[in-house]
Structure 1
Amino acid sequence: MLKLDLPAIDPAAPRPEFTTATACKQWVKELPLTNIQAVQDELKQQLELLSHFSLSALERLKTLELMRETVAFIAGELGKKYRSKPLPFSSLEQTAWNNVALLWQTLAANYRLCLQANIDGNAEVAPFSSLITQRTMSCLVMQMLEFGQAYRCVPSAVWRELHALYAFAEAQDVATKRIKDILNREDGSDSCEATYAKALLLSLADPQQLSSRQLLQLDRWLDKWSARAPLSREQPPTPTLPLVAVDLSGESGPAMYTGQMMKEKRFLDTERTAVSLRKRIKFLRSGGNSAEIGLGDDCIQPGCEAFLSMLYRRWCEVLPTRAHNRDSAETAVQLCFAFPAIHFFLNDATPFKQPGETLDLAPEIMEDMRMYGRVTKRTEKLLVARLGYTLENWRCLDQSAGGFRLSRSGDGERISQNLLLALRPEASEHFTLAVVRWLVMNEDGSLNIGTRALPGFPTPLAARQVTLNPKDAGHFVPAFLLSAVPEKKEPASLVLPIGWFQPGKRIHIYGSQMEEAKLVALLEKGANFERVTFVSEVMY
């Protein structure tokens, strides 16, 4: 039998603003929706009061149904304060996230009271077993989405409850029953099975590697696609795709099934989803508009096709083995962020200067170059202290030729997905340019990131955009040259500030000599950089 974690009903609990659906409807109607914070405070207070107030199960259910859409609206508005923000969150961003999580938690707590009444045989809510179960599950999925927006792992307790609720829906034979759901933006209906499938597909998509925008898009798409991914106790007799399974007795999400032990396994059928994805990818590849196939106007090429292809790989294919073996020996690594700081450390601890500008070298640098032919780390630390640049100390949990998995405890630079950084293992004298692929904010406040090393050896440059009137030319800014890697078929490339790339655009670059470079193709675009191919010729 399903065991629910229920709030305590207190006969002496303060009375909410409303105790009937009629009164609740009027209360919701009068909420000042232009004042998001005030409405959030009111909703939080009333939901908390309701969770401890003695109320008939049917009246509670009617009340929650009237409040649910407003809760979703306010949660969406509050989410704008922290979505797409770097980690760790500021105090204001963290407060907004906490408030959204609390709204869904208290709404779920009230639905649990209705569900318990149903389990206890309450005749009034017996006809609504599927609705109450789906609503409780939906609150948990909403929490999962917000964990994704904060790059946090879904707690095992949330998975345990979600598994138990789906098992209950199966036992009550209501798992596939379609019910009205105003929060489903596709067809206005949902089911316990579809809600559960949404959580499973969301987990397989690996939210820690998705941007906030991608997560919002995926949330919208799954309102429709999750209904095309049914679950079954038995594996398909002739599967054409790798099997996806989940253990209802476990406390984690789904996985590709290769025969591993699962006490209460269910198989997720992704066949129809795969067909739908392949059709959409083919349509976009032929030049079609994403809005014409239900993806929305905000899904822009070529990113839209790349996102769908990534989802197809994670839902419908066995992930390939790593191209590079990983070394799991923990080591210390130093990181720096932002173009000026990266340029400084790549350039032997020499501050950036305009081409032709004379810059007196620090005596410590001159002495190091005379004695060792390079700047020592001791001198580097002295110069860093003078200029205000920082090197953060991180732990490398494991590494390969393709990247590093790193961890930091304590305060430091705020980090976002696809951020350019430079890193140097303690055993190396050289920095590597890398990009943040994924982030995980742990409960203890530590931050884990996965980085992908950019191909080629980095060389610091100065770059400026070319103008029609040379007198209007601006100052040079830090940039970087990455050497070609023929064995990986990687061309030489420039790493430039965000927003510089246009096909055929000309810029000046200066390393050992002044060159004019013509930008050819955009290889990748990050949070603070663009990596481009180019052709150049010496100017003087």
Structure 2
Amino acid sequence: MAFDLPLLDGRQTPAFIDPAGGLAWLADLPLANPTEAAARLTEQIGILNRHPLEPGARRALLDALAPAIGELQQSLGQRFIGKPLPLAVAEQMALEAALALGRARVDGYLRCVETVEPGPNSALALQRALAAQVDVQQILILARRQPGASHWRTLHGLIALAEQQGVVEQEVDVPGHSHLITPLAAYGAALLIQAAGPHEISQRQLPWMLRWARRWGGKLRLLSSPPTLMDALPLCVALGGDRPPVVMPGKDADSRYLDTMALRKSIKQRMAQLEQGVAPGELQLGDDCPQPACGQLLAQLYQRWCKGAMPRQQERNAGSGPCPLVPGLAAAHYQLYGRKILKQPVVKSVEQLRQERERMATFGTSQFIQKDLVAEAHPEFEPEDAWELINASATGLRLVRPAATTGARIGPGRLFAVVPPGAKTYTLAMARWLLTETDGSLHVGLLLLPGPAIPVGVRTEAKEALRPGFRLPPAAAGEASSLILPPGSFRLGRVVEVQEGGKTSQCRLTALLSRGDDHERAGYA
């Protein structure tokens, strides 16, 4: 396979051509400015990629640069990972710098693949190229972006070449790893990451999934026909295509199947041991994975990796048409209360109260009377009309906002007011996941909250101002009602003052049901 690489013209002289020279050059990089440092290193790797070098020497040089590349990408990642979408300008620049550096490294290893002779050295080059491509995929996933067609075309082309040369399961040494790794292990990791449905995994749990996928990619087997035992459904790819893995059997001559039986056995054993109280760290899942979140994610991945997909509780139907969306707690409160904002009650002096009584007795009214909720124009609380419906179920919606469309930045857990298909009034919803597609469009998965939601004013401390909130009915029979509160409000047993329709009640918080980036949902008594 011919890869899309820059011409090997050697017009520019690289600053270094061996590991020692590369490490010396790295010592002068301005690491305090990772964007500039990444740009300079990307430039040098690009020059190296156009400079003639023996494949073994090129690979050794890229291996020597790998730790510095990883550190720079980690520093850049702090600027865009977990940020609301679409990214701000500085965040987008950091992402593009991390991707450019990673792709330059991939091109370097692809150059090795193109020029090396088949055999053990080609297995080394193929494993390195596959692993570097997975590194790029990991950056995209952490930024909530979808890998494009060229990404999959490169991955499939590399494993097809490994198959042709008979080195798919050839074990090679990898710096920094205590065990040998095969080209198939790196390729398998890429497929597992995509099959996990990473955009639906929380930012906290995403690093766990990425680590497990890379560790367990070697448990897959590459087959040219479907496995005879189907206790675990295989992942299917077309090696000549540019699509991610699917579960349905392929019909093309270049279709391959990734058998997940060994992975299924390994995950089931770990799930059983977790249920028996064994710590996740003892099962090589990581000391940063506490229970029960660890077991919950593992069960979710078991369904996606070995059973084809997560079972859906409600049928999802395709849809289309505009779907007005109001982002944020304050804006949702404004819309659900008839385009009014919460006003603080006037604190009256003794003299004002005396005058009010006199006016009430004389005229039947008083200039000091003030409504708690006053109609006002607030353009920042108006709905966004650019959102379009993709599909819907009884409890959720998938919406898309086209690229280059002006709108609010959105983070996972954001509260919304939305008008579902066929409805005439707003319903509260929470963003479960976000994803930027390859065309730049922003997709969001919304979880519809129980309704109808009643807008209220809430106060968690005696002297603080009233803040917007909602009272929600039970989600199902036998469940309790809940409150939507501003972030930071929940404390077990805290008594919250709730003002609704001119009446004040006291609610004791009993459980934190969910937490978003701009609200908390709590049970109360």
TM-score range, shorter chain: 0.7 to 0.9
| 2:181 is the counterpart of 1:190 | yes
Shift of 1:404: 1.7
2:60 to 44, 59, 62: 62
| 2:398 is the counterpart of 1:399 | no
1:297 to 287, 299, 309: 287
Q: Is contact 1:194-1:230 (8 Å) kept?
A: no
Rounded to whole Å, the distance in 2 between the matches of 1:169 and 1:412 is: 46
Q: Residue 355 of structure 2 corresponds to which residue in structure 1?
A: none
Matches within 5 A, 1:4-403: 4-11=3-10, 13-31=11-29, 33-119=31-117, 127-182=120-175, 187=178, 189-257=180-248, 259-319=249-309, 322-354=312-344, 359-360=370-371, 383-385=377-379, 388-393=380-385, 394-403=387-396
The secondary structure found in structure 2 opposite 1:522 is strand
The secondary structure found in structure 1 opposite 2:425 is coil
Shift of 1:16: 0.9
Rounded to whole Å, the distance in 1 between the matches of 2:399 and 2:370 is: 36
Rounded to whole Å, the distance in 2 between the matches of 1:304 and 1:320 is: 17
Q: Residue 448 of structure 2 corresponds to which residue in structure 1?
A: 453
| Aligned residue identity for 2:7 | A
Distance 1:346 1:26, change over 3 A: same
Q: Residue 374 of structure 1 corresponds to which residue in structure 2?
A: none
Give the structure-2-normalised TM-score: 0.87
Q: Residue 499 of structure 2 corresponds to which residue in structure 1?
A: 510
Rounded to whole Å, the distance in 1 between the matches of 2:342 and 2:292 is: 35
Q: Residue 371 of structure 1 corresponds to which residue in structure 2?
A: none
| 2:486 is the counterpart of 1:491 | no
The secondary structure found in structure 1 opposite 2:491 is coil
Rounded to whole Å, the distance in 2 between the matches of 1:137 and 1:294 is: 24
Q: Is contact 2:216-2:263 (8 Å) kept?
A: yes
Rounded to whole Å, the distance in 2 between the matches of 1:127 and 1:226 is: 20
Rounded to whole Å, the distance in 2 between the matches of 1:135 and 1:432 is: 50
Q: Is contact 2:39-2:101 (8 Å) kept?
A: no
Q: Is contact 1:233-1:265 (8 Å) kept?
A: yes
The secondary structure found in structure 1 opposite 2:318 is coil
| Aligned residue identity for 2:383 | L
Q: Residue 377 of structure 1 corresponds to which residue in structure 2?
A: none
Shift of 1:35: 4.4
Rounded to whole Å, the distance in 2 between the matches of 1:384 and 1:401 is: 31
Shift of 1:113: 1.6
Rounded to whole Å, the distance in 1 between the matches of 2:152 and 2:456 is: 50
Bigger shift: 230-239 or 473-482? 230-239
| Aligned residue identity for 2:389 | C
Distance 1:492 1:250, change over 3 A: same
Rounded to whole Å, the distance in 2 between the matches of 1:304 and 1:526 is: 20
Rounded to whole Å, the distance in 1 between the matches of 2:80 and 2:228 is: 45
| Aligned residue identity for 1:63 | L
Shift of 1:43: 1.0
- What is the RMSD computed on CA atoms of the aligned residues? 2.6
Shift of 1:199: 0.5
Shift of 1:73: 1.7
Distance 1:82 1:352, change over 3 A: same
1:315-370 CA distance string (max 9 Å, x none): 1224366544445342222211222111111111111134678645999x6xxxxx
| Aligned residue identity for 1:148 | I
Shift of 1:107: 1.1
| 2:434 is the counterpart of 1:432 | no
Shift of 1:131: 0.9
Rounded to whole Å, the distance in 2 between the matches of 1:428 and 1:82 is: 36
The secondary structure found in structure 2 opposite 1:60 is helix
| Aligned residue identity for 1:74 | L
Distance 1:349 1:286, change over 3 A: farther
Bigger shift: 79-88 or 428-437? 428-437
Shift of 1:44: 1.1
Shift of 1:197: 0.6
Q: Is contact 2:19-2:65 (8 Å) kept?
A: no
Rounded to whole Å, the distance in 2 between the matches of 1:146 and 1:362 is: 46
Rounded to whole Å, the distance in 2 between the matches of 1:303 and 1:476 is: 35
The secondary structure found in structure 1 opposite 2:2 is coil
The secondary structure found in structure 2 opposite 1:180 is coil
The secondary structure found in structure 1 opposite 2:62 is helix
| Aligned residue identity for 1:442 | E
| Aligned residue identity for 1:310 | Q
Shift of 1:142: 1.3
Unaligned 5+ segments in structure 2 are 348-368
Distance 1:532 1:131, change over 3 A: same
Distance 1:58 1:264, change over 3 A: same
The secondary structure found in structure 2 opposite 1:213 is coil
Distance 1:479 1:448, change over 3 A: same
1:350-399 CA distance string (max 9 Å, x none): 11134678645999x6xxxxxxxxxxxxxxxx7234xx423211222332
% same residue: 29
| Aligned residue identity for 1:7 | P
Rounded to whole Å, the distance in 1 between the matches of 2:175 and 2:457 is: 55
1:33-73 CA distance string (max 9 Å, x none): 44433431331121011111222333222211211221122
Rounded to whole Å, the distance in 2 between the matches of 1:73 and 1:29 is: 13
| 2:460 is the counterpart of 1:465 | yes
The secondary structure found in structure 2 opposite 1:449 is strand
| Aligned residue identity for 1:156 | A
| 2:407 is the counterpart of 1:412 | yes
Rounded to whole Å, the distance in 1 between the matches of 2:57 and 2:517 is: 49
Shift of 1:236: 2.9
Give the structure-1-normalised TM-score: 0.85
The secondary structure found in structure 2 opposite 1:301 is coil
Shift of 1:414: 0.3
